Structures are given as structure tokens and as C-alpha cells.
Amino acid sequence: MQRYIFRNKNKITLISGILIVVGFLSRWTIGNMTIFKWSLIIASILGALPIVIQAYQALRVKVVSIDVLVTIAVVGAFLIKNYEESAIVTFLFLFGAYLEQRTLNKTRSAIKELTEMAPESALKRMANGEFEEVEVDEVGVGDILLVKTGAKVPVDGTVLAGEGSINEASITGESIPVGKEKGSNVFAGTILDNGTIQIVADRVGEDTTFGKIIELVEEAQDSKSEAERFIDRFSKYYTPAVLVLSFIVWLFSQDIELAITILVLGCPGALVIGVPVSNVAGIGNGARNGVLLKGSEVISDFSRLDTMVFDKTGTLTVGDPSVAEKEYYGKNIDEALAYLASVERESDHPLAKAVLEEIGDISLFPVENTEVVKGEGIVASVNGHRIAVGNPALMERENVKLDDKARQDVARFEKNGNSLVLTSVDKELKVLMGVRDQIRPGVKEDLEKLKKRGVKNLVVLSGDNQGTVDLVSGQLGLTQAHGNMLPEDKSAYIKRLIEEEGQIVAFVGDGVNDSPSLALADIGIAMGSGTDVAIETSDVVLMNSDFSRLPHALGLTKATARNMKQNIFIAVGVVIVLLISVLFSDWMNMSIGMLVHEGSILAVILNGMRLLRYKVR
């Protein structure tokens, strides 16, 4: 019976409303008081059914809920034969609950949209080499899949063959297509706008980036902030207090209708719903714009941020070093470059990769007698020549003489923040290359937006040499720059900011070595293409490592925190005004008060929903 009533709650609300209209029309038009009376009685009983059941369920677990207050008030009004009040109060309460649920569903639209984007099937290559459509749950790691134009990518994977443009809005929030070719990474839930590609499945099901987004957003929207926990505690004591106040008023005034009216108007409905709807809407907006906020507590801390600390490589910079400057000396440069490429091919150092990319396709020679000089470079024999590749210290060890021009070039390259790669052939300098990581496009503008949103200190911590870190800091206008820092040094620095200086600190990073700092900071912010450990440790994830999402995230949390305060003010203000009005004025009655009360619930919900449209300016 209870299930039937709850399943048809909206229909009961509609019937109750129609009966109230019929009753008042019969009274105003034909003056039939019998129809008026029985329409309101039936409307009262019907409307009270779901409310009474919810009140009973609350009392069973020793909770005096809003439904308990309304039930007592409605029963009281019914007993004193004030059928108008009992019918209107039950209708407004049910109609308010309907509006509340409807608008709350809209604030959770981000989850619904994400879930609907999830792929359901895939074209999988079978043992006979043919592609057949299967359920996405049947796809395993290592399977080869075919994605055609207009289809959703079913799993996270790597392109094996073909080219195309993919709309990655479900991951990054940006609808601008991204070109994909052999070796490119693709994500589940994204859409192939044009072309045809074959991919190998790297991550499937809940392990995909898309699956993790849905899981994280669901967890975040179900979590409770400090403000919500306070309101839960407040409501626990407030509701019985309203009951006591109502009893005291009846005791002194002997006015049962006044006491019942206080019960109805004292319900803290808008207060209970106001903060959760702000949190849910804020987290939903973030999810649709490539920002994952892991819970309501993050919003509170993030909105009060003092200091933002950045790892350099992969965060402020692209994380892919390349040759920025180069100088050649003497003759036979092409031959020297071939020797350099031959030696660097033996190394897995990031600088070696940058040098090889700069040189490009070239004829290589066998490399013999390779000697790695720790912290300086490599010495080897190539085509009968002694080749040294490394920093100035290695050149000094090899007795390679640098003329005035070469020394000036070295000093200039170092000043520009380069890591140096010098190459000598038979103790004669031939090549000088300056390798450095490039600053992410648009980072400087994004940092300015952070300053405008109240971040007082912008700090970079890096394991790179101080000169390189200072150069990046100077170009970006950061507050402080610290180089030559190990992971434990970064953690100690953040701990000092929090414990000794009392600052609210966010740390932004992407690597395994950043995990301690991400966990220690008040707000850990991970770049989405970073390591799984960094993402799991963090409080906020910027999908697809899009740094431009950071100002949006900060602005959104500040807007959400303001929205919570506005909703609390509206809710408390309306209850105070209603109680004062019913005690000290003649115009306020139960029906008018209930209408205003339900209006306040709708007001806080609509105010919270404004966050769904928030955009960074």
C-alpha cells in the first residue's frame, strides 16, 4: 500500500489540487457548501496519506522530521474542522516536494548526460579477422576495435591505423575536434566526427577515463560539506524546538489554530535543501566543463584559497622538452650531427629524445666503447672518432677548448633557461644545443585570472636547476620560484605553509613524485593525463590536462560557496519573517504562510540551479 501511494504521489497531488479548485468554485458560484466541505475533506485525507507515512517512517528511526510537523498541523486543523487550511497545506507541501524533486533532477543533469554518453556497443575484431558488433562489456584489454564516422569510442585505447577528428567534449568540456592518427590516445565516450580508425583497447569498463569521471562525480554529489553537516545537526534540534514553541504558545494563548500555524510555518524545508542543491549544481557544472570536484568539502576549502603551488614540468610547461636554440662550429657539421644522433640513440634520457627529434632522419654509425659519465654525459667511439656528448663539465674533462664565442653562447643559452648538450669530435667542439621545456600556451593569461580571483601567492617548485625555474617564474609573473627540490622538499615546503603560516594551499601536479604534495595540500589538483596515483590522491582533476580549466574551477567554487550562503540567508530569513508575522500580525494565516514557505523552497532551488549556467569570465 505504501509503495502504491508513493508511486502515485504526483497523481495524488494533482487530484488534491483539482478537488480544492472544485470546492472553492462550488462555493463562489452556486454557494453549495456541501460540495465545498466534502471536496476539502477528501483533498485533506488524500494529501495527508504520503505525508503521514513519511512522518511515521521518520519517527520509527527516532527522527522528528518536517513531515512530522506538517502531519501534526494537518491533523490539528482537521480536528478543529478548518478544512480549508488542512487541504491547502497538504497540497502545497506535496506540490513543493514535486517541484523540489523536479528541479533537483535538473541539477543532476550532468550525471544523466554523462551516463547517456556512455557507449553501449563496439565493433570487435574476431578470430576470423572480421569485425562484429558486441556489447561493450564483452570488450577486453588488448582487443582490436573499429570506430567509424559518427560512432562513439567504446574504450580508452591507442590508434593502430587510420586517421580522424574526435569530439572530446565528454572528457574535456571542449567541442573543438582533436585530430587523431596512429599512436594517438583516444577515450571512451568521445565521438569520431570524421574518418575511420582501428584502436587497441587499453582500459575498459569502469577503468576508462569516462568511467572514472562518472564514478567520481556521483561520489562527489553524494558527499556532504561541513555546511550540510551543520544544517543536519541544526535541523535535528530545530524541529523539536518548533514543537516546544508551538506547545508553549498554545499553553499561554489557548489558541490551537495559532499553535498549529506555528508548526507549519516553522518547517526548515528551504534550509535543509538549500545547501545540497548548490553543491550538486556546482559539481555538475564542473563535470560538464572538464573539472572534477571530488566532494562538497573541496568546494569550501577551494573557495577560500590563499596560495597555489605548481609543479613545473607537465603542469606549467608542456612536459615534452625540445631543442630551443642551437649553434654549430667549424666544418663537417652534417657528419658531426650523424655522430651525435648515433650516440644519443643509445640513451633513454629526455634530452637525448629532444636532440634526436631535432636532427631528424640521418644516416647512423655503429657506436663502440660507450662510457657513461654520471651527471655529465656520454663518451664513445664512432667511425674511428672520439665523440663526447654532454654538459660543459664533460667538455672540460675531455680537454675540449671553448673559444670566446662558444663561451658566450654557453652563457647565453644558460641564461635563457636551457639544459645544454655540447658535442665534440676528437676534442673539437662542433655542436651546442639548448633544450628546454616549452611553457603551456595561455598559462600566463590563466595565472592572471587566478590572481583576479583572489589567489595571493603563485609558487613554482621544481627539481630543475634554479636558473631554469627562475626563467619560467619570470616569464609567468609568479610570486616565488624554488628549484633543485626533491619530492620530500616539496612536501616539507607545503607543510610549512599550512602549519606555520596558516595558509590554505592548493598544489597542482601530474606525476607520481607529486602524490605526497597532492595529499598533503588542502586542495590537491591533478592534471588529467597525469599518473593514476596523482589522480587518485587529488581532490580536483583537470581533465585532459587542460590548465585553462583551473580559473573556471576556482571561480565555480567561489560562486558555489556564495550561493550556499545566499540560500541559507533566504531560508532562515523567510522562517523568521513568517514566525514574527504569525505572532504579531493579523493578516498571516496557515495557508498564506505555507504558500510563502513553499515559495522559499523553490527560490533556493532556482538560485542553486543558476550555477549550472556558470561560465568563467
Q: What is the 3-state secondary structure (H, E, C) of 161-206?
A: EEEEEEECHHHHCCCCCEEECCCCEECCCCEEEEEEEEEEEEECHH
For residue 316, what is the DSSP state?
Answer: I
Cα distance between residue 231 and residue 268, in whole Å = 10
Give catalytic status of residue 522 as yes or no. Answer: no
Cell of 498: 599550512
For residue 418, what is the DSSP state?
Answer: P
Among residues 559, 283, 74, 462, which one has the least CA distance to residue 471?
A: 462
Taking phi over 0 as left and psi of -120 to 50 as alpha, with beta for the rest, 476 belongs to alpha
Positive or negative torsion for Cα 40, 45, 51, 55: positive
Cell of 375: 651527471
**Rg (Cα) of the chain, in Å, rounded?**
34
Residue 616 dihedral angles phi and psi, to the nearest 5°: -70, 140
Cell of 563: 550561493
Which one of 67, 156, 311, 464 is the catalytic residue? 311
| CA-to-CA separations, 181 to 81, 162, 165, 529, in angstroms, rounded | 77, 6, 9, 18
Per-residue DSSP letters for 234-302?
Answer: HHHHHHHHHHHHHHHHHHHH--HHHHHHHHHHT--HHHHHHHHHHHHHHHHHHHHTTEEE-SHHHHHHH
Cell of 506: 592548493
Q: What is the 3-state secondary structure (H, E, C) of 328-348?
A: ECCCCHHHHHHHHHHHHCCCC
| Active site (catalytic) residues | 311
